[in-house]
Amino acid sequence: MFSAGRAVAVTVFPFIFVRSQSLISDYVLLQHERIHIRQALELAVLPFYVWYLLEFIVRYCRCGNFQKAYRSISFEQEAYAHETEPHYLERRQCWAFLNYFKTS
């Protein structure tokens, strides 16, 4: 629905929706989605989704590839970079996704 059927999990604050029950035990997937929850909190939730969508649209218009546009979104870059780190959210700096924001 939100990802054109491509995602196995989607975060709609404050919930994480997974495609199948077996994914509930996937630590890396859930950590990735928890990072998105923190990002959404920092941006007061609704602006997170607006920014996410706008960043995706701009990047898609530049490269014309859904997967490349998705993977270049600053929120996704941070989440992918730290999804395997168990204590990342404990030490994460506020607005850390800005470290991944590139205008190119």
pLDDT digits (tens, 9 = 90+) for 50-61: 999 999 999 999
In this predicted model, what pLDDT tens digit does every residue of 14-44 receive, in sequence order? 999 999 899 999 999 999 999 999 999 999 9
Q: What is the DSSP string of 48-95?
A: HHHHHHHHHHHHHHHH--HHHHHHTSHHHHHHHHHTT-TTHHHHPPTT
Collapse the DSSP code of 18 into the 3-class scheme (helix H, G, I; strand E, B; otherwise coil) and give the result: strand
Residues 72-91 have pLDDT tens digits of: 999 999 999 999 999 999 99
Q: Are 94 and 42 in contact (CB under 8 A)?
A: yes
pLDDT computed for residue 102 by the predictor: 83
Q: Can you give the residue ranges of every domain in the chain?
A: 9-98
